[in-house]
Chains A and B, each alone.
Chain A
Amino acid sequence: MSKFSVLSKVRKEFISSFLSKGKRIDGREFLEYRPIEVEANVVETAEGSALVRLGTTQIIAGLKVDIVEPFPQEPNSAVLITNAELLPLASENFEPGPPDERTIEFARVVDRGIRSAELIDLSKYVIEEGSKVIGFFVDLYVLDYGGNLFDAGTLAAALALKTARMPKIENDELIRAEYTGSLDIDLKNLPTSTTFSKIDDNIILDPNADEEMASDVQLVVNVTDEHVVAMQKRGTGSFKKSEVLNMVDIAFEKRKKLIEYAKKV
């Protein structure tokens, strides 16, 4: 057995021993979020930016707006791409280098939530059909990994878009640092993410780093006011049908609190 797997096992026993008594290692209820703090416009060079703290997790999202060519299969649609970097300063377990599968999964799930929720009406940002559209590039930088990147990342990305300033466009060119106003965004389409971890047979919400590592399986649920817009089962374990539907109900319930942070900025 490797050192890592032995330590994981010891860690899991530690966390399980708490959960079996109905407690979590940090004293939270099973379905309780850690404190959340949000700050917008933290990076002046970006067209939009937000810093989200979820417990000890810190993620910064920045938006750059460019004029780009549309994807050939979608000539009438602006381009929206979300990317992420798990900076090596965020955790002793993050290594410098090209993105690994965990980073790519994280970026893609956040991307799917924002896209499916239609947070931005991409058809509105076409300058010249088939050749010139607006490109929205949302990039997430994880500064501190304290568990549950997905909920913090989705909130940060959504807030960077919500608080974005659209640069002026003149003769099909962007005029940087001159802004025309915010993006057309409806809060009911702003996705909120709620992540669950299953450890033994206990389901907890917003896992911290240790709980995340001890998880048998996780479910990320993104919802808008009316719809489920993205889900991702992570890890090798499995869920029962009733568990999945129950978590979706909770995600809708937790949205009421999460959306307040979007209203604040």
Chain B
Amino acid sequence: MGGDLDIKLIVDGKRLDGRSFDEFRKPLKLEVGVLREADGSAYIEWGMNKIIVGVFGPREAIPKHLADPDKARIRCTYTMSTFASLEEHGRMGPNRRAIEIGKVVREALENVVMVEKFPSTIIDVHMIVLQAEGGTRVASLTAAAAALINAGIPMREPIVGVAAGKAGGEVLLDIGKAEDNYGQADVPMAFTKSGDIVLLQMDGKLTREELAKAIDMVEKGSKKLFKLQEKAFEKEYAEPIGRKLSLLEEESKVDIHSL
């Protein structure tokens, strides 16, 4: 939140990139089943963000003391590549920000993943941000939920996330990097399909009315993300047109483990 730097973020009722106040960045693309080794995976492109999520489990809790006899434990890691931003070379390894994001995403997922079905096991959710342009935590969460579904891990319902914020004096959906840096507030949120808030953070200054507006905006916007999720799964399991049996193609791509 840079505050009131003299950068015009809203011109003629439009945002810097031409979006209206409640419009998502483009592209907005979600694909599932992108990794071979992971039990479930998803790839999201959201504005300039490019994120891959891989899920493993439920699997044996090692070391044993990690096991909870009543439910599966979810482990969530968030990694930002060293070349994810236009600025200088980033550092490898998790920083405080990455650890916090892992925690809040995990706590959101714990609402919907039916962890009670898999006592004493671990479910791993690993998120890698290859390219970042603001809003990576909610984009990662949206992809993480899709990856969990792709892994066949039982969930009560899906979740999706998007941030609202305030920039140029207006409440805006899906704020981009400039709007975050030079705006007045950032409110990342995640919703369940039935309308519960499972992730909520806030940074900046908002009036009560503005906050209410931001929450409404995200709730409305999340409907679009649930559609995106549905589309991704319809595409993954749709019958390809003109499918041909190609032995050669298959031969060298064995992904079954000999053990």
Contact = CB atoms under 8 A, between A and B. Distances in A.
Contacts of B48: 44-45
A88 B87 CA distance: 26
Nearest to B84: A45
B81 A92 contact: no
Interface stretch (A9-17, A189-197, A218-226, A244-252): A9-17
Contacts of B38: 89-90, 144
Interface of B: 35-38, 41, 48, 50, 52-56, 59, 75, 77, 79, 81-90, 92-94, 124, 126-128, 130-132, 251-255, 257-259
A49 B128 contact: no
Contacts of A141: 81, 128, 130
A27 B37 CA distance: 20
Nearest 9 CB-CB pairings of A with B: A89-B54, A62-B83, A64-B89, A46-B83, A89-B126, A26-B254, A137-B89, A11-B259, A56-B36
Given A14-B258, A45-B84, 9 more contacts: A43-B50, A47-B83, A55-B253, A64-B83, A89-B53, A139-B92, A141-B81, A143-B52, A144-B36
Interface in A95-123: 96, 98-99
Interface residues of A, number: 51
A64 B81 CA distance: 11
Contacts of B36: 56, 58, 144, 146
A60 interface: yes
Interface of A: 7, 10-11, 14-15, 25-28, 32, 34-35, 42-47, 49, 55-56, 58, 60, 62-64, 66, 83, 85, 87-92, 96, 98-99, 135, 137, 139, 141, 143-146, 176-177, 208-210
A139 B258 contact: no
A87 B124 CA distance: 12
B257 A209 contact: yes
Contacts of B59: 92
A110 B247 CA distance: 34
A117 B100 CA distance: 42
A145 B214 CA distance: 42
B259 A43 contact: no
B56 A43 contact: no
Nearest to A3: B60
B83 A49 contact: yes
